[in-house]
Structures are given as C-alpha cells and as structure tokens.
Amino acid sequence: MSKLDELKKEILAKTREYYELAHKDDRSGFRPGQDRINYGGRVFDHREMENLLDSSLEFWLTYGRYSKQLEKELAQYIGAKHCFLVNSGSSANLLAFFALTSPLLKEKAVKRGDEVITTACGFPTTVAPVVQFGAVPVFVDVSLKTANALADQLEKALSPKTKAVFLAHTLGNPFDLEQVSEFCKKHGLWLIEDNCDAMGSLYDGRLTGSFGIMSTASFYPAHHMTTGEGGAVFTSDPLLKKALLSIRDWGRDCFCQSGQDNSCGKRFSQQFGTLPFGYDHKYVYSHFGLNLKMSDMQAAIGCAQLEKLPGFVQKRRENFDHLKKALQDLGDYFHLPEPTSKSIPSWFGFLLTVRDEAPFAKQALVEFLESRLIQTRNLFCGNIVRQPLFENLELDRDYRTPVALANTDKIMNDSFWIGVYPGMTPKMLDYMAQSIRDFVGSNT
C-alpha cells in the first residue's frame, strides 16, 4: 500500500470517528413538548460521510465515477434502462417534460398549445414545465382518500390537443396506474410519473416509476433518500435517452462523457445544419438545453443512501401504520388516508382532511400541533390555479378545468400532513397521535 493510500485510509477512519462524536443521533432521548418533531429529515451514518470525503479527496467536482455508479444502480433499482442524475426533483420534472418537446420525436413531440392532463393539487413543479414551455395544463380533480387524480375524469379532460399525462404519486401513494396507463395507451399519449415523493412504492407488485415512458425522482433531504439537492429522470426509450442527455448537458449533440473527446470518431468530419463542415462536434447543439447535472460529491452520498433505501421504505410504512392505528377511531372527524387499490405505498407523509361536519377547523388544529412543536405541512400548493402565479394566466387559453375541482379546494382548505420519515421513533409517533386526540377531545 502506498503512502497516499495509507493516508487516505487513515482519513476515512477518522471520518468514522468524527461521525460517532458529532453526528450519531440518539433519538431515544426525545422529550415530548420540548424537542421539535420535523416532518422529514436526513438519516445517515459514517458511510455517507466517508463517500463524500473520498470523492472530495479525488476532487473530481462534476460528473464522475460515483455519478456513473449511482445512475447504474438507480436504473437497476427502478427497472429502467437509463437514469440521468440532475440537481433537483424540480429539475427532473423540467428535464422529463422538455424531452417530450424534442424534435427527435417528430410528430409525437409536444408543441406549444398542446395539452397535458394533470392535477391542480400537488407540488407546483409538476405543472411549471408545462406552462413554461407554452403547453396547456388541463386539470382533473382528486380523491379525498388518496389525494390522487380521479382516473374516471381523464376522458372528460381529453381533447384533440392532448399529448401527455403528467401525474404525481401524492405523498407516496400511487395513482391508479392501471386505469391511467390504459387511458394513455388507448389515446396514444405520453405518461410521465412524478415519483419524487414515492421511491419504493409498489403498484400491483411493481415499483412506481417503472410504468410511464419517463419518471422522476427527488433526493432532497426530506425525501426517501438524499444527496442534499438532487434528482433523477428514468426512461427505457432510446430516443428520449438521447434527448434527455442533450437537454441536461447544455443542449449539446455530442454524447462524450465529461473529460472525454471524440467518442464518435467523427469529431471534425460531420455536417450539421449550415455550420461549416467539420465544425467541432463538442460545440454542436441540437436542443435548447440547460446544465442540470449533479456533482460527483452529491452522487457519492447517494450511493451510500441507496443501500439504505429498502430499510427507509420499510420504516416509513411502519410509521404510517403506527399513526393509522392510533387515529383509526377518529374517522368521524377526518378523512383518513387510504392506499390506492393494488398498491403498497412508500409513504412520504400522513394526510389528514378535516370533515365538513367536524366541530373544529383545520387551522386551529395545525396551530395547536405547531404549539406542541409538531411540524405540519399543507398538501403543497393546495389548488395551484388559486396561487398568485396563475393570476396572469387566462382560463381556457393558458389552462383548462373541464371538471369542478371541488375535492382539490377541500384539500386546500381542510388538509394538512405530518411526517413518517425513518428518523421518527415510536415515542414521537405516539406524541403526535396523542396531541391530535387531545385537540379533538377538547373541541368536541
């Protein structure tokens, strides 16, 4: 072993020692009412820190060996041929949608003015790429029990301009993939799965993220695994693979990996458009692209996190079941969350919707829980068409609502969720459930 290898081994050993002293978290000491319960957070050990330091010592700051490893392992996990790492789940949604606008797809490409069916109840970056490109989002309503699209409304949203369906698996609960997939197949539509909140969820025994022509993932610290900031796009389609790689990497036509030149063997011997013959292929651009790549240091963290993902998923399910059992008898006051038929969710959160007939308001309950240091969250934007960002958009021109969004408005007004992430202990879960029960008991 060289002196350099010995030094590296010593540094990594010290990193483990540092983790034990600085970061190892003993959550058994949770103090109800004194320690805050966050809805989500990072769960890691010395392996992530060792990988991160190992990558930093190499100082290959952009796409590198850890990125290649993580893309390969993530693709194998989901069951896709290709995975492209990006810098966030929002960027993953942007990249996936813009790939559908690629000229490589010819007549099947999404054009400005074409329509995309989605929901108004969710995170805004599922819808944002559609509007930003100049396509038209068409909104269907959602179920109060699953917070997912009501699949029987898809036909009402269909028009001659419809090109795609772009839906999220809300809080880890899969949407009706059977009915949605059949609808897309029947009408020749693209399907993108926003799988950012659902890594590890199963539908009919198969992982979500493996049904659509593309799917997306997020690795923000609150999600099922983390790289800090980060995300990914998955596909098995060869044309979309080419479009995704180009758009993610500045729009370039060249497919050389970072640090490589002339993989095609024709770097200076091709004709592109009206460029001079032999124009350097590394500087030929076939798409209007961006730079959305993840750094190799982030990917190094992800490689260690992916090993833990099955355990994270199992813990989320256990925590959800713990809360569901503790709150099951409060069904007169809440619409309690239900898994979609045929699914085993990898839950992102526990959604509660106050019933119309309940003698209390959501806001009062949320403020009570926050006063007890229990972090709560709305179901993201509630109803996106009521958000300020839609104020300058015109109904029936810039977006359509072919059905009433009654349940979406109900969720906007009366729903919130609490966390089930793997860092929670039974003591924390019991405190959250008991706090909800205390509030209901004092207001009924």
Using the predicted structure, report yes or no on whether residue 29 has a pLDDT greater than 90.
no
Using the predicted structure, report yes or no on whether residue 143 has a pLDDT greater than 90.
yes
pLDDT for 28 equals 75
The confidence band for 95, taking pLDDT boundaries of 50, 70 and 90, is: very high
**Structural domain 309-442, CATH architecture:** Alpha-Beta Complex (3.90)
Using the predicted structure, report yes or no on whether residue 25 has a pLDDT greater than 80.
no
Q: What is the mean pLDDT of residues 368-383?
A: 98
Spatial contact of 273 and 204, defined as CB atoms under 8 Å apart: no
Give buried/exposed letters for 321-332 (b at 16+ CB in 10 A, else e): ebbbebbeebee
Domains 52-298 and 309-442 share a fold: no
Label the pairing between strands 206-207 and 202-203.
antiparallel
Q: What is the mean pLDDT of the chain?
A: 97
Using the predicted structure, report yes or no on whether residue 425 has a pLDDT greater than 80.
yes
Using the predicted structure, report yes or no on whether residue 179 has a pLDDT greater than 80.
yes
The confidence band for 27, taking pLDDT boundaries of 50, 70 and 90, is: confident
Spatial contact of 301 and 43, defined as CB atoms under 8 Å apart: no
- Domain locations in the chain as residue ranges: 52-298, 309-442
Using the predicted structure, report yes or no on whether residue 26 has a pLDDT greater than 80.
no
Q: What is the mean pLDDT of residues 86-103?
A: 98
pTM over 0.95: yes
Distances (CA, A) of 395 to 137, 160, 411: 10, 18, 21
Backbone angles phi, psi at 275, to 5 degrees: -70, 155
Q: Tell which wins on pLDDT, 148 or 1.
A: 148
Q: Sheet containing 415-419: give its strands across.
A: 334-335, 349-354, 415-419
Judged by DSSP in three states, 102 sits in coil
Using the predicted structure, report yes or no on whether residue 258 has a pLDDT greater than 80.
no
Q: Each residue of 241-257: pLDDT tens digit?
A: 999 999 999 999 998 87
Would you call 223 a catalytic residue per the annotation? yes
The catalytic residue among 46, 82, 169, 223 is 223
Instruction: Give the domain 52-298 fold.
Output: Aspartate Aminotransferase; domain 2 (3.40.640)
Smallest CA-to-CA distance from 99 within 164, 146, 43, 177 is with 164
Using the predicted structure, report yes or no on whether residue 264 has a pLDDT greater than 90.
no
Q: What is the mean pLDDT of residues 276-305?
A: 96
Q: Which residues pair with 418 in a beta bridge?
A: 350
The confidence band for 260, taking pLDDT boundaries of 50, 70 and 90, is: confident
pLDDT for 399 equals 98
Smallest CA-to-CA distance from 375 within 345, 408, 420, 337 is with 420
pLDDT for 257 equals 78
Those residues with Cβ within 8 angstroms of residue 282's Cβ, 6 or more apart along the chain or in another chain? 252, 254, 256, 261, 267
pLDDT for 259 equals 73
Please give the full DSSP string across 30-81, using - where no structure is assigned. --TTTS-B-S------HHHHHHHHHHHHHT--SS-HHHHHHHHHHHHHHT-S
pLDDT for 256 equals 83
Q: How many percent of the chain have pLDDT more than 90? A: 95
